[in-house]
Structure 1
């Protein structure tokens, strides 16, 4: 028997006190590893194609109002895309972006260990694209109105957006669809509000 072993055997209280910090450190490490990733960076975004899509190709990495930044990126991206794609092609792109976004949001939320991460903005991107696709062509002020109305419904979440936000929760495909679903409802509400505005006040 070694000297340390004999000392621990003769003084079990001391051995227990010495092992306590190690147990605390192990518990802290386990807690840290199970905690969600609150602020992802470029390195995390580039680790998986789903992360790149879910973060709106980097627009969602903003520490300040990532949803608003992601929506602004979507607005700019749509204006660029329509230089090369016609209305029908843009429609197919948006349709393909729905299942792609569902997959990307599901994977990214699971990897971040956060059910509905604020930095995931692909839901805002697809919703803004859908609004612009159904309302364009229009001038800058009309586009700005679309942006502002959608941000209101997405951020404030009045009914039925609040209902949609609470409908699908958790990890896996159900939670991934939930990330997308409330923004699609917000887009529908925005389109309804914009249609009423156009009816009463013109474009």
Structure 2
């Protein structure tokens, strides 16, 4: 149970207040940067998949005896969702041979958009959240991450295509 709690809270980050989900998303940023620097977008993708299944296991263990299906201290789901939101930046930097840090506006957009989708839970994000299962806990952040990633790609296309920046 200690390992599950460690994973679910991302080493205790989930116990930070206020807004533990935001802290979980923030800690995901340097983690994603390190993963990208070591192995590019491919390692980040592998980490997303591994963290999803590890998070599903940990969330199942941690919530097994709790009434709350999605306790605020469980933030591994935010890490997974935030990494998904950052994936277009990792692929973009890798594709053009740029430093991942040169895409800092995209990092800000990915962070803000993911948090907005995660907090407000539009459409499919809310549907996944209402499943009240460990899978739903993980899935709502995956969907929020995908929506944020798509939004980041649209913003990048507008900035680099339409605006010519």
Q: What TM-score comes out, normalization by structure 1 length?
A: 0.68
4+ runs deviating over 6 angstroms: none
- Separation in 2 of the partners of 1:194 and 1:89? 20
RMSD: 1.7
Counterpart of 2:156 in structure 1 is 198
Counterpart of 1:151 in structure 2 is 115
Which of 32, 39, 45 matches 1:78?
32
Deviation at 1:88, TM superposition (A): 2.2
In structure 2, the gaps of 5 or more residues are: 94-99
Counterpart of 2:129 in structure 1 is 165
Deviations 1:43-64 (A, max 9, x none): xxxx510100100112111120
Deviations 1:9-34 (A, max 9, x none): xxxxxxxxxxxxxxxxxxxxxxxxxx
Q: Which has the higher Rg, Structure 1 or Structure 2?
A: 1
Q: What TM-score comes out, normalization by structure 2 length?
A: 0.83
Q: Are residue 179 (structure 1) and residue 133 (structure 2) matched?
A: no
Q: Closer, same or farther in 2 for the Cα pair 1:83/1:192, shift >3 Å?
A: closer
Counterpart of 1:95 in structure 2 is 49
Counterpart of 2:96 in structure 1 is none
Which of 70, 80, 87 matches 1:116?
70
With a CA cutoff of 8 Å and minimum separation of 6, indicate the structure with the bigger relative contact order: 2
Deviations 1:48-107 (A, max 9, x none): 101001001121111200000000000111112333333323322221111111000111
Q: Are residue 128 (structure 1) and residue 92 (structure 2) matched?
A: no
Higher-helix-fraction structure: 2
